[in-house]
Structure 1
Amino acid sequence: MTKEMTFNGVDMSRFFRITNIIRPVGNKRSITTDDAPSLGVNVQQVKRGAKEHTIKFDMKTMTAMEMERLKHELAGVLNVLEPVKIIYGDEPDKYYMGLPVDDITPDNITRWFQRSEFKILIPDGVAHSTAYKRFDNPKVETDKIVFDLVNNGNVDAEPIITIKHNAENGYIGVVNAKGALEVGNREEADTEQYKQSEILFDYVTNNGIVKGLQQGQKNAAILNDLSQNLNGTLGIDNTWGRPHIALTNRGSGTRPNNAGSVSWEIPLDSSKQHGALNEYIWWRQIFWLGSANQLGFIKIAISDTEGQFLYGVETIKRANGLDVEYNFLASNGKGGYNLIKQWVFKGTHEETANPFNEPRGWSDLLRRDDMVQVYWWGSYPQFHIPEIKGKKSAKIHVALGTFGNRPQVTHMYLDDIVYRKDFVTGIRDIPNRYRMGSVVILNSENDTVTVDGIEKAGDIVDAPTFIKIPPGKSQLEMYFSSFIKKTPTITVNFEERHL
């Protein structure tokens, strides 16, 4: 009996013919007991352990040399240090996460025909469905949203709940028969007496970056230095199916670097005031090299009402190699700037190396007068800068540039940007924790809460108990702030899991 097997994306039929796959019913069980007073025992704990599969197979080649070469190649495929995806041909709708254990010693029937077996440990003890089950049509009741769910697995599923806000909100509560999870603040109010935060421009919602490029002033940026000729051309690039601002023509001139820029004046707030001492800027950028000799930079800069550079960050690659700098810069009060903090990352596609690769790129700055908080890879360091105290921000600038005629960075984009002014006086309505258009993901697979792509463990109320979906039919209830004006768009996705 021949069965297909895919191990970590590799079709194993190129190495051997499977004669049998032994998959025990259920899982290993361990029971902890103590003596009963007069008869039998008391069961203290029942624990289900891992699964273990045994793969029996034959290997056949034309010569002994081919056999040994094939065995070395097989050893390389099986040499994994953590569980990988395994799919069997007779269970095409499921996959396992496993890794080989023990050695593989073949029976040498002949030098060109060998028979053996190996064991695979499935640490999480379950089979996962290859497709996520999706629920996106809940019942809307007076004070809650209710999902009727069906889990056809025989163990709890771990849902990924995505909430796209269609109105401001400050609280999300999720409840079912297995537990409850709260994020935000149940008591968060929609108004305050004197102060509020206001989104003054939003170039995120509905591909807003296209509108942002149209509305912004071109090649008038106030940056930390004057090393670039600001006569390049910015345009819209749609790589990966989403719009980005990209440098489409670098320009030229007498200065060593060439760039194009776009600037936005901070609009009047609701009290008709210009400028800000308290503000928040969120953006998404991509900085991904195509080769090690590419150079370039993205600068996000804030200038004051006098037309002087205040503070900002630059993502800059200035030499051959993979190292890219992420620098926080601020005014020195003398017309120049200081490098306040520098981080270095690798400009590759790797998730662990580059915070600005294709699926990510989120970052933000928060200002409280002379204090600026900079987001860097899950941390929020704060810096006090006396030189900017009392100086109001007036404009936001973004520049994309190159070093002379050196090759340009392949993927160097601005995808989104949002500006929020904080502590606006005279208006009672306040933006809440979750702005209109924000996306909150409650992920029970990895026990995380993210808001617009940035992890927000601090939003979780008390010790987190991430929701599980029991087998069979069940209901999931969701609650929001009492002041919410429009129901969010919610999807619940989960893999069904089987013992």
Structure 2
Amino acid sequence: MSKVIKVTYGDNILSDLFESVTNIKRDIGSGWNNNTQAKKEGVDVISSSRGPRNISFDYLIKGTFFSEINANKQKLASYINSEDTLGLVFEDEPNKVWYALPDGEQSYEPESNKGTLTFLVPSGHAVSSFTNVLNLSNSGGANGTITPSTVDGSVTAVIKNKGTLPAWLRFKIKCSQENGYIGIASPTGAFEMGNIQEADGVIKPESEYFYNSENNAPFSNFTDAVGVANPQNNLLATNGKLEFQTDGLRLKDKGTVGSNQGVAGGMKVMTLPADSNGHVGAANFYSYFNIFAWAGAFGQTGVLQVLFTDINDKLVAGYGITKGDMSGNNASMKCWVGGNKPREYASNNFISNNGEGNGAGNMNNTSFNEKTGHSDFVKTGS
């Protein structure tokens, strides 16, 4: 059995109802209507317009028995019953869509089960079913070229239209920096947006993520401090080990203390990356951490800190939990600032339980327990 060329109209596949499709007539171009005025020699053309176009093809209806043939005829009638133009597509030209209406009386011969379908294309032409993309990655190829200027920042695009009619263009422009004006010029017209005179030189700040632990759950972007002193208090040793365990960083190895140090422990360090403009160090900075500070028994001591430093590891500011109570369960949340006058900025006492109360009153650990250990750090200006 020979393959039947696939023909679709709207959402329906007409060729599913046919044994064969033959004699497809898609003539070269469409008709033209010329309005002329006689003159001494020849005519003057007053106007010229493209006329509609007819497309037709012969078919052999599918079916062996009368009931099958009749059912397919009724389906065919319903498939082409449209008062609006629908897309007519032939398999041998899958990129061409003819927006057409059924036209005239659709012929059918009962003796041979053959007929002819005729469609009117009001526009006179087909349209493409897909778009071509021209960008820097395929510049110089079949779709054209894009040439950025190193002198004035403009971009020249030469677009190759491989069709037979003018094509509509869709531009997507992404500015590499703040821009108050965009202009698109062609031999036939221009488009402008914004103010070409704008030259204020003002940089518009935007928020950026420098680090998000949800994308780096084991905190692998942090490295163990090697030979780096604690920037807030050099009595705190930093040669121990912090390690990600299940839900966060915990002390794995307390390490050793030097001759002039009093508390053993570890420290991890991460250098914040440059922003999208290549600048390191933000004037306005926001950070969120979750600190869990719960003493498992009375008399336990410890220090938990989140510190921010400059390029020379000098303290800018930070906050943390300290517990020096060697018999009870008292702890403090402390804030420190560095710079020219390093000092303790604030201190708030609490009971280092797990937020369960147990007579702690207003000292209950409501900020750093297992469920609500949320802290925000904000730096504004210098």
Which TM-score bucket, shorter chain as reference? 0.3 to 0.5
| Greater share of strand | 1
Q: Greater CA radius of gyration, 1 or 2?
A: 2
Q: Which has the higher contact order (CA 8 A, sep 6+)?
A: 1
TM-score, normalised via structure 1 length: 0.36
